[in-house]
Each structure stands twice: as structure tokens, then as C-alpha cells.
Chain A
Amino acid sequence: MYERILVPTDGSNVAEAAVDQAIDIATKYDAEVHSLFVADTDAIAYGLGTEQVDRIRQGQFQGMTELREDAEAATGYVTDAAEAAGLTGHERHAGGQPHRMIADYAEDNDIDLIVIGSHGRSGVRRALLGSVTERVLRSTTVPVLVVDYDDED
């Protein structure tokens, strides 16, 4: 049923909350685990400047060591978990709008299930910060499993 499972991750606790669930399902179906890190170009424009966005678009990612380390750590966490469970992991690093890139990746790689973490924000915080997860739901037809992250503890 599920041959390829996608875990989008930004390296945060919220994203990693989804990994256990994804690995569990993948083990049952012996599925490939794909992990995708999307550098949000909006965040880079405001955080590092528009020149860095341009640099990503030119494919000069190798020179951006800190971002590269973040990306590798984020997807590496998922791959390590997958390999520990005896599964195959695939990693991909992309740049753009996260929800669009996730939806595109799912379509291009015949993903059967997306497992994604969510803050479960509501009210003002949701209005201000928005929800990548919510946008992913609206931009893809692939089934999505949303894992809420509980930051009470």
C-alpha cells in the first residue's frame, strides 16, 4: 500500500516528532523513507539577505556551509532512523516555498504517504506564523498523516 513515504523536515523538534510514526509505518510496509529539507527562500531573504536567495537559485549551495549543515543534520536524522530500522533512506535538499516544494516532490517521486509534524497552533499565533502543514494539505492529493507536536513537556 505504502511503498514510498515522505518525511518533510526542517530539523526542528516538531518535524522530528513525525519521524517515529513514519518509521513505524514504513517498517510495516517495508517502504522507502524519503526525507526532504526545504530552505524557505522567504526566510532566507529576510534572515540572510536577497543575495543568498540568489545564490541558492544559482545552485551555489555548497558554499553556504551553515545552511548546508542544517539541511544535512535534518535529513540525516530521518535517514539514520530509517537505516536503524533496516529501511532505505533517500535525502533531498531543496529551496523555495516549503509547501509547494513538498507537494512537487511527492508528485515527482510517486510518494504514497506524507508524514509531517505540526505545531498545532491556533488563534493569533496561527494567523501570524501560518502553518506549512496546513498548506501542504491543500496543495497535494497524496494522503497526509499529521503528527501534532506537544511542547508542554
Chain B
Amino acid sequence: MIDGAPMLADLAIGAMETIPLQSSEALLPEDLNVSFKLLPAIIVIGMMGLFIVAGFMFQVADTDDMWVAGRSIGNIENGMAIGANWMSAATYLGVAATVAISGVYGLAYVIGWTTGYFILLIFMAAQMRRFGKYTAPDFVGDRFNSDAARALAALTTFLIGFVYALGQARGMGLVGLYILGDWSAITGGALSAYQTMMVIFMVITVAYLSLSGMLGATKNMVLQYVILIVAFLLGLVVTGWSGGFTTVLPQLEYGMMIDTLGSEFSAPFAGGSYYLWVATCFSLVFGTCGLPHVLVRFYTVKNERVARWSCTWGLFFISLLYLSAPAFAAVGTALYGEEVGAVYGDPGMTSAAGDVLVVLAAQLAGLPSWFVGFVAAGGIAAAVATTAGLFIAASSAISHDIYANIINEDATQRQQVLVGRLSIILIGLLTIIFALNPQQPIAALVGFAFSLAAIVLFPMFFLGLWWENTNRPGALSGMTTGIIVWFIPMLNEGNFGLIDGGLAIDVISTWMPAIGSALVGTPIVFAVTIIVSLVTSEPPLETKQMVRQCHSPDPMPRDKTAADIVAEKNRDGNAPADD
């Protein structure tokens, strides 16, 4: 059935940066049992079906009268929804993969992605809620009074969604191989087994989005979170136990295994330099604070207190997974070493095998296929749900921020739906094309999106909320600089095959790796924005008052935005009234 075995020899670990665009050297995780499995297939379909059914059930039909206040969402529920939004293939598969392959370097992900929430909590969650806008480009456009700034932010949002989705597509394709097997025959050999699976699951994701109204329901997100975390934790405990490595608390017990795993796993900075570690961590911390699909949860809560507590709970629910991922990596690495061969060196574990390590470990531990399928289904569900969220954020950037606010201000609701659907198809196609030959592991692909968010959007949010003198020219020059700065290392390393092999300039690849380009890029954007703001005229008084209102000690009524309050104060205090 499977004629892919000879390909494996072609895939050395170092080859992952230089895979040419040929399907003969396709991604195939070695020793993963690639075949059609009925029970796991049913579990995947059942899991996704359950999310749709739950969406229908929790949907309170329609709202006859929007002024009748309903039940509000509590902190814990909202925290779980944040967790579900957040848990993607990168979290579920990518973190364990990076720790397994690159050892201590992988911890930059665990630390970066949790620390980001602290910054969010301290500097942004409540203030964003007070500003009271719907989308990230909305905030940028209104804070800097500029449609050009709004368009740049919308473009960045679209780009982030696209780059982020590449990692998810890779995850879906690889895990899909375990569940559904090799279907490349139906394409007549035009696509490899991985490519076929990736296309199938991307099409499912886009179809899933036609039910989008149901997916965002908070109750549904809570259910998703619970299923995903159970699949991951149960997978870890059972795999560790049956492999004889750990018992009930693998998160603590894996420390005992470290001596046996090889120095590549445990020696600090063996898998990446100290500088690379810091740069990656920096990008991930500040990228978290600039990600549109994460921030959106904070605009929608009742008030700023709920925003803060939801952020705290979100951090807790996310860390449940992150504390376990390194343990999963340790167990997986040990099993791979016992059953397959040396993890490090030549040939070593490929990045494809690393990316499915969570599934591969359960399989190597000899667990029944329905259980492995359950763990795999969790990975696919995480990828599909996050991709759906990213695509919605990208479509909203196009249909709401660019189309309805800039191109056609009289756009009807139906026109916005049409533009939204078209942009989802566009981003879906782009993702499929660029994910055919992803040259990097999941965690790295997602890391690029975080660099972009940290370089372009985070400085706008941070300065916009905390420094009232940030003005339009400052924001425009800052964002333009940011987008250019982000592209430099991407082109230099030849990611996405934009330039074959890349420019390969040594200084840039050493000091500004694409995955951690924010360490250099974010300070540059801050400096450009601040200097340009200082030498140009100050923003209008209302804008400054809005920024001050975001930090006012008085609690804000829930039905007002900072702009409303400023307008009221100006009316009461100094006549003449402006309406």
C-alpha cells in the first residue's frame, strides 16, 4: 500500500531548509503508522461534529430585542474560551516537537507564550476594553484618525492570519496521515500523501467556516477547550505510564529522565544559540500582545475587570498544556530512541516526525489505535478551530476594515458577507499553495506570524494606549517600517520560497533570524514612531483625552467607549456643544 519508504532516506534533519519544490521528497514522518483507521477517523469526525452540534445548541436562536440584556459570560468561561482560541497545532503539536528536536531552545516557546499574557494583563487587556472597538484595525484607525493606518493594520492582520495558518495546515496534513492514511493516489500522483491530506483538511476548514456564527459561541469554546486539554493530558499520562517512564504527574517526573535523553535534549543552547533563544522568546512575548485573534476576546467582555480576570484565567488554562508539553517531548524522545533509532545526529528525528511526536509517542507506546486516534483528533481539532478563528479575523480585516470602512462606506450587510466569504476563499487558497512545501516545522512557521505581530501591531497598541502624543505620521511611518523590517529576514532566509535559497546574508541571519526578528524590529519601530511623532504636530485634543480616559481611575459604564465619555465631558465642561 505505502510506497513511501524509500523517501525517508532523503530526509535528513538538516535538509529541512533546503527541500526543493518536488513532491518526491515529500514530508513523511518516519515510523508513523500511515494507513486508514476507522475508529480514529470516526473520532475526528465525531469531535468536529460535536463542536457544530454544540454551536447549534448553545445558540440562543435569534435576538428579538437587543436591549434585553442576557446572561453575561463569567471570568472562568471566558478564560477557557481564550484557551480554546489560543490552542492551535503550534501549541498542541509544535511545542513538544521543538523541545524534542531542539531541546532547551524549545522552552523559549513555553516561556514566551505564557509571559506574553502577563504583558497583556498588565498593559493592555483593560485599556483595550475601555477604548471599546471591535477589531485591531478599528483601534489603529480610530486612535490615529487615519484610514491609511487602518488599511496597514488590516493588511498586517491578513498577513498574520495567512502565515499563522501555514503552520496549522502543516499540522493538519501530518496528523491526517496517521488517521486517514495515504490518499495521494486520488490525485494521480500529482500531490504527495502529506499534500493530499493538507488540502483535504484545509477544504474541511473552509467549509467549517460557513457555520462560523456558531463557532464563536463562548459555550462552544469552553467545550473545545475541555476536550482538547483532556486529549492532551490523558495522552501524556497514559503514554508515559504504559512506556514505564512516568506515573501520575509526568510534568514533574520527567526531570528524572533527563540524564538518559542525550545532551542535545538537556544541554542549554545546544539546539540554538543564546541569542537565538532570547530573540525567539522576545518575539513570542510581544507577538502574543499583538495578535488580533487573541485581543478580540478582550473587546467583547462586559467590563475591564472581567477583561483582567479572563486574561488571568486564560493564562492558567493555557499553562496547563505548556507545563505538560516538555514532559510529552521527553517521553516521546525516549520512546523514539528505544523503538526507532537515535533521535539526534544523522539521520536523527526529522522535523516531520517531530511535528507529530505527540501522536507518534502514543503509537510507539503500543496504545490501541482508538486512543492514539483520540490524541491525534485533538491535534486536528485544535488546528481546524484556530485556523477558523484566524480566517475570520482576516476576513473581517478585509470586509469590515478595508471594504466597508474605506472602499465602500455605504456597503450593505449582504455586500459585507459576500466580500467576507471571498476573502476567506482567497486566504484559504493562499494557505494551501504555500503549505504544499512548508520548509519549516510548525512552531517556526507560527513564530514568523508572532514576529510580524510584535513588530507591526504591538508598538501601535502599546504606544497608542500609553503615550498620548503618538500621532498619525508616527503610526504610519512606524507600521511601514515594521512591515519592511519583517520582510528582510524572511527574504534573507528564503522562507516560503519567495527567493530560492534566500539572500543568505550572514550578518542578518545571525543577528536578525526571521523567527526572532522582533528583538531588533520592535525597538526600531518604537524609535521611528516616537521620533516621527515628536517632530510632527501633536494629535488633536480629543485623541489625547481618549487615551487619558483609557487610564482613568473612575470605572467606566459598560455602554460607553472612551470616545463617548470624552465627547460628553467636552459638552458639559466647555461649551459650545459640538452637535
Contact = CB atoms under 8 A, between A and B. Distances in A.
Given A48-B135, A49-B135, A49-B393, A61 B413 contact: no
B294 to A, nearest CB: 11
A54 B85 CA distance: 14
Given A50-B392, A60-B69, A93-B67, A12 B302 contact: no
Interface string B349-375: 000000000000000000000000000
Chain A interface secondary structure, helix, strand, loop or mixed? helix
Contacts of B299: 51
B420 interface: yes
Given A47-B400, A48-B135, A57-B217, A94 B62 contact: yes
A59 B396 contact: no
A30 B64 CA distance: 26
- 8 smallest A-B Cβ distances: which pairs? A50-B216, A46-B420, A96-B62, A59-B70, A62-B559, A43-B413, A61-B66, A47-B400
B51 interface: no
Interface of A: 10, 12-14, 39-43, 45-66, 68, 71, 92-98, 100-101, 104-105, 108, 128-130, 132
A104 B61 CA distance: 12
Contact of A56 (B66, B415, B421): B66
A64 B62 contact: no
A58 B559 contact: no
Contacts of A108: 64
Contacts of A41: 62, 213
Contacts of A92: 64-65
A58 B416 CA distance: 23
Given A53-B213, A58-B73, A60-B302, A46 B60 contact: no
Contacts of A96: 61-63
20 contacts: A10-B412, A43-B413, A43-B417, A45-B216, A45-B392, A46-B416, A46-B419, A49-B393, A52-B134, A52-B216, A56-B63, A57-B59, A58-B70, A59-B71, A60-B69, A61-B63, A62-B558, A63-B559, A71-B66, A128-B418
B506 to A, nearest CB: 42
B65 A49 contact: no
Contacts of B415: 129
B400 to A, nearest CB: 4
Residue picked from B413, B417, B560, B561, most chain A C-beta under 10 Å: B413
B213 A50 contact: yes
Contacts of A105: 64
Contact of A47 (B65, B214, B420): B420
Q: Chain B interface: which size bin?
A: 35 or more
Contacts of B134: 48-49, 52, 64, 66
A61 B68 CA distance: 9
A47 to B, nearest CB: 4
Nearest to B69: A59
B214 to A, nearest CB: 8
A62 to B, nearest CB: 3
Given A10-B413, A46-B395, A53 B62 contact: no
A66 B404 CA distance: 13
Given A43-B413, A47-B416, A48-B400, A59 B135 contact: no
B492 interface: no
A52 B63 contact: no
B33 interface: no
A97 B417 CA distance: 12
Interface string B527-562: 000000000000000000000000000000011110
A130 B325 CA distance: 48
Contacts of B412: 10, 12, 14, 129
Nearest to A58: B70
A57 B132 contact: no
Residue picked from B62, B72, B296, B421, most chain A C-beta under 10 Å: B62
